[in-house]
């Protein structure tokens, strides 16, 4: 047992702040947005009382915040920042910019559904809008993972083989405001695992002028830089395992890019990301208790996409279901498409691959819905084109929506919903 840490009851947000604190960050440009605010409130407090040295500064928007973050990282300090939802997409342009600058900073996103309609509840459309930016993405299930992933993230970001920004995602409300027991690495452990920031390139300074972010006006050169970023991000699959092994040796917790839960002999496998995996595991336990061979594959690493891990994990399964807590209108689930891409053409790929959409905008994924997904996989037979994504909603939830529609004077929508409804489960 590798000891030395302290156990604390922390929300996901406090865990994120602690992760940044243990990483001994120099600089936090900030902008408040629900449900991320507790992170920056704690960090500002620690800068104010001298626990953290450097600077905390409130910007006027996430677009500006991310620009300041990248510019500071390019100048040579260790930078942390955090946002959510509208803030992430408001700053989306800058995410591409920072990845292009290859600056090794860490950004926490506290997932929240996107407007319109504006909402506060979590889903993954915000973070998946950033999937093509060149940021690495780590997705936490627990508050413990939030702390640990931030430390891992700095190692990955600052690795000479990668040198790219990293996004650590935690789900709003379910994780950001949920207290869990967290084993905090001690300052010594954190320092042993993550040394001081040593920039790969000298930043802006008098004796060494540099031009960064310069225009490229031909496609071949542009392609070269994009390919280079792609290769660097790909390197993070291997680097993750190396860095995670060091983390395990220092702090005693092991992490693989893809977590497999009771999957060894599973015929039916669910694939997903995020905090609802805790509920998925409970469903797996229920089915296992009934003697059914079911399991879970949860992606911790979403960028780079651990395709080889997925191929190994999905090979030979009777049926695999992907639960997407996001919706690409007119396409379906984003992760489903990526999983399908990973196993396409495999001789021993899963015989059935199904797509489920659930948990949008903070909607629960109930025990009944997990049971429904597993039952659907169990009943599915190979052959034919894959059916469209199934949109999950329980009867109880539908009745609640119907009540609101009625109050809003939209009875015709209620009748249409009854006729064409696709409501799974019966909680």
Partner 1 sequence: MRVAREHFHNLKELPQAEPLAPGSPLCAGCGGLTALRLIHKVLGENVVLVNAAGCMTLLATFPYTPLHASWLYTTMGSAAAGAQGVRDALDILIASGRLPAEENLQVVVLAGDGSTLDMGLSATSAAIHRQLDFWYLCYDNEAYGNTGFQLSAASPPGSWTATTHHGTAQRKKDIFEIWRAHRPPYVATLSAHDPIDLAEKVARAATLRGPKLLLSLAVCPTGWGFDPSLGDEIAKLAIETGIWPLKEARDGVVRHTYRPSRFRPVEEYLRPQRRFRHLFTPQRNDNLLAALQRQVDEYWREAT
State the residues that interact with partner 1 by CB under 8 A: 26-27, 29, 53-55, 57, 59-61, 63-65, 67-77, 93-94, 97, 203-207, 209-217, 221
Comparison of 210 and 331: residue with beta carbon closer to partner 1: 210
Q: Are 27 and 77 in contact (CB under 8 A)?
A: yes
| Shortest Å distance, C-beta 68 to partner 1 | 4
Place of tokens 């994504």: 389
**E-only strand ranges, 276-400:** 294-299, 301-303, 319-324, 353-357, 390-391
3-state secondary structure of 27: strand
Comparison of 117 and 196: residue with beta carbon closer to partner 1: 196
Main-chain phi, psi angles of 219, to 5 degrees: -65, -35
| Shortest Å distance, C-beta 100 to partner 1 | 10
Q: Are 21 and 190 in contact (CB under 8 A)?
A: no
| Shortest Å distance, C-beta 27 to partner 1 | 6
Considering only CA atoms, which of 179, 172, 160 is closest in space to residue 235? 160
CA distance to 138, 174, 182, 253, 268, per residue, from 375 (Å): 30, 26, 34, 34, 9
| Shortest Å distance, C-beta 130 to partner 1 | 16
Alpha-carbon Rg of the chain, whole angstroms? 22
**E-only strand ranges, 31-158:** 55-58, 80-83, 106-111, 136-139
Comparison of 200 and 249: residue with beta carbon closer to partner 1: 200
CA distance to 162, 235, 364, 425, per residue, from 134 (Å): 11, 12, 31, 38
Comparison of 119 and 212: residue with beta carbon closer to partner 1: 212
Query: What's the rounded Cα separation, in Å, for the pair 231 and 387?
Result: 34
| Shortest Å distance, C-beta 132 to partner 1 | 17
Q: Are 91 and 83 in contact (CB under 8 A)?
A: yes
| Shortest Å distance, C-beta 217 to partner 1 | 6
Main-chain phi, psi angles of 57, to 5 degrees: -140, 135
Tokens standing for residue 206: 């008098």
| Shortest Å distance, C-beta 79 to partner 1 | 8
Q: Would you list the DSSP string of 152-166?
A: HHHHHHH-TTT---E
| Shortest Å distance, C-beta 60 to partner 1 | 3
Comparison of 12 and 104: residue with beta carbon closer to partner 1: 104
Query: What's the rounded Cα separation, in Å, for the pair 82 and 29?
Result: 9
| Shortest Å distance, C-beta 224 to partner 1 | 10
**E-only strand ranges, 34-88:** 55-58, 80-83
259 Cβ contact list (under 8 Å, min separation 6): 141, 277, 296, 297, 298, 299, 300
| Shortest Å distance, C-beta 86 to partner 1 | 15
């Amino acid at each position: 047992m590798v000891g030395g840490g302290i156990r604390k009851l922390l929300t996901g947000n406090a865990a994120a702040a602690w992760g940044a604190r243990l990483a001994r960050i120099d600089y936090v440009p900030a902008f408040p947005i629900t449900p991320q605010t507790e992170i920056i409130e704690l960090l500002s407090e620690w800068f104010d009382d001298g626990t953290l040295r450097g600077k905390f500064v409130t910007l006027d928007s996430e677009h500006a915040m991310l620009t300041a973050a990248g510019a500071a990282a390019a100048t040579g300090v260790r930078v942390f920042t955090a946002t959510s939802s509208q803030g992430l997409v408001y700053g989306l342009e800058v995410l591409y910019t920072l990845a292009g600058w290859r600056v090794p900073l860490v950004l926490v996103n506290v997932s929240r559904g996107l407007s319109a309609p504006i909402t506060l509840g979590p889903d993954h459309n915000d973070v998946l809008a950033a999937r093509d930016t060149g940021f690495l993405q780590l997705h936490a299930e627990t508050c413990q993972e939030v702390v640990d992933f931030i430390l891992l993230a700095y190692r990955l970001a600052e690795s000479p083989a990668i040198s790219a920004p990293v996004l650590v995602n935690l789900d709003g409300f379910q994780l950001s405001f949920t207290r869990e027991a967290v084993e905090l690495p001690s300052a010594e452990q954190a320092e042993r695992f993550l040394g001081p920031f040593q920039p790969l390139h000298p930043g802006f300074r008098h004796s060494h002028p540099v031009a960064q972010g310069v225009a490229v006006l031909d496609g071949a050169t542009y392609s070269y830089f994009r390919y280079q970023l792609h290769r660097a991000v790909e390197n993070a699959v291997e680097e993750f395992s190396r860095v995670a092994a060091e983390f395990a040796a220092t702090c005693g917790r092991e992490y693989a890019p893809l977590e497999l839960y009771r999957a060894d002999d599973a015929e039916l496998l669910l694939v997903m990301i995020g905090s609802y995996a805790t509920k998925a595991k409970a469903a797996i336990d229920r089915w296992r208790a009934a003697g059914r061979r079911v399991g879970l594959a949860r992606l911790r690493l979403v960028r780079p996409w651990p395709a080889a891990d997925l191929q190994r994990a999905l090979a030979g399964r009777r049926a695999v279901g992907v639960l997407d807590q996001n919706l690409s209108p007119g396409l379906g689930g984003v992760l489903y498409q990526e999983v399908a891409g990973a196993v396409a053409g495999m001789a021993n790929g899963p015989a059935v691959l199904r797509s489920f959409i659930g948990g949008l905008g903070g909607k629960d994924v109930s025990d009944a819905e997990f049971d429904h997904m597993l039952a659907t996989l169990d009943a599915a037979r190979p052959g034919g084109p894959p059916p469209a994504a199934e949109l999950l909603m329980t009867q109880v939830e539908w009745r609640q929506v119907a009540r609101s529609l009625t109050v809003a004077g939209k009875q015709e929508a209620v009748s249409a919903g009854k006729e064409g409804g696709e409501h799974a489960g019966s909680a």
